[in-house]
Amino acid sequence: MSNAETPTRIPPPESALEGLYAAHFATVADRYTAALAATGFDGAVIPAGGLRMLFRDDHSYPFKPNPQFRLWVPEPAPDCAVVFEPGKRPVLVFHQAVDYWHAPPELPSAWWARHFDVAVIREPAELTQHVRKGPRWALLGEPCGPAEGLGEPDPAALIAALDWHRAAKTPYELGCLRRASFLGAIAHRAAESAYRTGASEYDAHIAFCHAIKSREEELPYNNIIAYGRHGAVLHYQHLDRVRPASAPSFLIDAGAPCLGYGSDITRTWSAAQDEFAQLVAAVDAAERRLAAQVLPGVDYADIHLAAHREIAAILSDFRIASGSVEALVETGVTRVFFPHGIGHLLGLQVHDVAGLAAGPAGGERPRPPGHPYLRLTRRLEESFVVTIEPGLYFIDPLLEAARGTAAGTAIDWARVDAFRPFGGVRIEDNVVARQGGAENLTRDAFAALGG
């Protein structure tokens, strides 16, 4: 089904994903069974991970579960583990401490829990009592208690096989990502409204979180909320508490969570209907054309190279640089203004695993020469979920490095100076590779909200 034929509707709530989870669970079990057999292991212990304490302090960092564990368990708690042995029902070893300082996690009773046998432990070290001892077991992650006897830690061949298959999402995973995109669109709208009504970067961030009732630690990654020149910093990490006297542009790169999966959405806005707004519209149109190329069989690196041709055309159209599209790409002018990759795999991790993998046995597919930051070089397959995020920035260190070079002679420096106060443009959508046409989760989510 093409994106144009996809009905625009609000994704159902998380509870509606129950009907898809059983098939997802079976698929994950089949993948593990095949990978264990191919690499010579009898079973695997998959810890959730634990709380990490701050250096010389008595409280912890926010809990970030092992993605291998969360592939099985939508609602993880610290110090738990999945014990998987092919042909047997998986065991969820559930840590429920006797604790009056903190509220212990409740025993899982949600729809996903009935697919496991649940064994309760009171101390992390008790995990070893629930693992059949043997030399051919794998330990996938960091155990919270003693690791002795749990298995070979993170065998490279097994990890490569498991990571390879995570790129193709199950219908359950796609349901999670659709809902994460919808929640992300809601929150983006709230942040944009805050920007346009005089909020600071910090206040726009709070508006984003409030709109979806999400704590900062629950977000897929730290929000990038950048006004004006801050938009030229690719991973701008500050949240100014006071709005500057001039905030001519707003770049927001932020996502929302759903059962461990996260959206990754970027939009750029101009405060006025000016030439920068026209530049934003040009990048947006280019992004739509690139997103339409997300199809099974397409080499993702070719989309990246196509993005450089798109950026070259925009640089020429806006008189920021002169020369043919081919010349602006070949002489490196586009890399001055678009220094990152076109995107990455998306799933349980924002930059999901195995983006450079050559196959389930490991190895790497090389990046195109001169493009060291591309995170994905695989050929796309059905149900791969990727980001498409072209950008055009006015980054002082890169611009200054280009002066006096062949690239610098093609740049109109007066035009660059006119655009510097706006920082830059990035537009990012989350897109599913479909045989009948790319499914743009992000555009569908905004459309469901009315535009």
| Residues 185 and 310 grouped into a single domain | yes
Indicate the residue among 154, 185, 205 that finishes a domain: 154
For residue 283 the two structure tokens come to 């990048």
Residue in 41, 126, 114 with CA at minimum distance from that of residue 80: 126
| Residues 212 and 126 grouped into a single domain | no
Tell me the per-residue pLDDT of 159-214, one tens digit each, with 9 for 90 and over. 999 999 999 999 999 999 999 999 999 999 999 999 999 999 999 999 999 999 99
Please give the helix or strand (H or E) that residue 119 lies within, else none: strand 117-121
| Residues 96 and 192 grouped into a single domain | no
pLDDT at 14: 79
pLDDT at 365: 97
Low-confidence stretches of the chain (pLDDT beneath 50): 1-8
Q: How many separate domains does the chain show?
A: 2
pLDDT at 3: 40
Residue 175 maps to a domain: yes
pLDDT at 9: 62
**Angstrom distances, CA of residue 209 to CA of 135, 157, 202, 220, 250:** 47, 39, 11, 12, 17
Burial bucket for residue 236 (CB in 10 Å: 0-12, 13-18, 19+)? buried
CATH number at residue 83: 3.40.350.10
Tell me the per-residue pLDDT of 373-405, one tens digit each, with 9 for 90 and over. 999 999 999 999 999 999 999 999 999 999 999
| Residues 113 and 247 grouped into a single domain | no
| Residues 82 and 216 grouped into a single domain | no
Indicate the residue among 154, 188, 211 that finishes a domain: 154
Residue 34 maps to a domain: no
Residue 252 maps to a domain: yes
Residue in 341, 332, 342 with CA at minimum distance from that of residue 411: 332
CATH number at residue 204: 3.90.230.10
Residue 384 maps to a domain: yes
Full-model pTM:
0.95
Residue 104 maps to a domain: yes
Residue 28 maps to a domain: no
Q: Where are the alpha helices (DSSP H) in 318-427?
A: 325-330, 333-337, 396-402, 406-409, 413-419
Residue 217 maps to a domain: yes
| Residues 326 and 404 grouped into a single domain | yes
372: containing domain: 171-448
| Residues 353 and 386 grouped into a single domain | yes
| Residues 130 and 277 grouped into a single domain | no
Indicate the residue among 154, 183, 215 that finishes a domain: 154
